[in-house]
Amino acid sequence: MLQGLTRTDRRILEVLQTEGRLSNVELAARVGLSASPCLRRVKALEEVGLISSYVALLDRRKLGLDVVAYVEVQVDRRGDAGADAFRQMVLREPAVVACQAMTGAFDYLLKVVTPNLDTYADFTMKRLLKTPGVKDVRSSFVLETIKDSTALPLIQMFQD
């Protein structure tokens, strides 16, 4: 589908990444289409999986979630049991909002969000470090967020 994307398709994706609640009529006006063709293009982008979902982005501070930590985790590689237990803990733990398998000294990078340091310590001591196979953990705390975007850099990928 990437080769078949038009400038209008790219513009639809760019607008929806930052303003996903626009009505079809508003979106059509922003990208220079009438409503029906715009809706058809959006449906086609959804069907091929380029648009995977629509979400509401919440203000974590207004919800009292003041601590963001990036946690490097090393797991025991002498069997699959440790990695499997770690993955299961990550999937059921709401404080872990992102997890990536990594190259380098650590196996995984977690993004953990909690209300305060006590809650973070509880997560780390009672759940993360007690997960079978977890060998080492290093935490770094966010002091200030300079940029936090969910929008992908489409302009760099699709030069017309």
**Distances 71 to 46, 56, 75, 90, 131 between C-alpha atoms, Å:** 33, 25, 13, 12, 14
pLDDT by residue (tens digit) across 119-131?
999 999 999 999 9
In the predicted model, what is the mean pLDDT of the chain? Answer: 93
- Could you tell me the two tokens for 127? 């759940």
Quote the longest CA-to-CA distance of the chain: 59
pLDDT of res. 159: 55
pLDDT category at 2 given cuts 50, 70, 90 is low
pLDDT of res. 5: 85
Of 73, 144, 77, residue with least CA distance to 110: 73
pTM reported for the whole predicted model: 0.86
pLDDT by residue (tens digit) across 6-34?
889 999 999 999 999 999 999 999 999 99
pLDDT by residue (tens digit) across 32-55?
999 999 999 999 999 999 999 999
Torsion of CA 135, 141, 145, 149, to 10 degrees: 20
Phi-psi map region of 124: left, alpha, beta (phi>0 left; psi -120 to 50 alpha): alpha
End-to-end Cα separation, the chain, in angstroms: 15
Residue 77: partners with Cβ closer than 8 Å, 6 or more residues away: 83, 107
pLDDT of res. 79: 75
pLDDT category at 81 given cuts 50, 70, 90 is confident
User: Mean pLDDT, to the nearest integer, of 89-107?
Assistant: 97
> CB-based burial of residue 13 (10 Å sphere; 0-12 exposed, 13-18 middle, 19+ buried)?
buried
Q: Is residue 9 within 8 Å of residue 45, measured between CB atoms?
A: yes
Q: Is residue 74 within 8 Å of residue 103, measured between CB atoms?
A: no
- 160/139 Cα distance (integer angstroms): 42
- Domain ranges in the chain? 7-56, 67-141
The hierarchical CATH code for the domain 67-141 is 3.30.70.920
Please name the CATH architecture into which domain 7-56 falls.
Orthogonal Bundle (1.10)
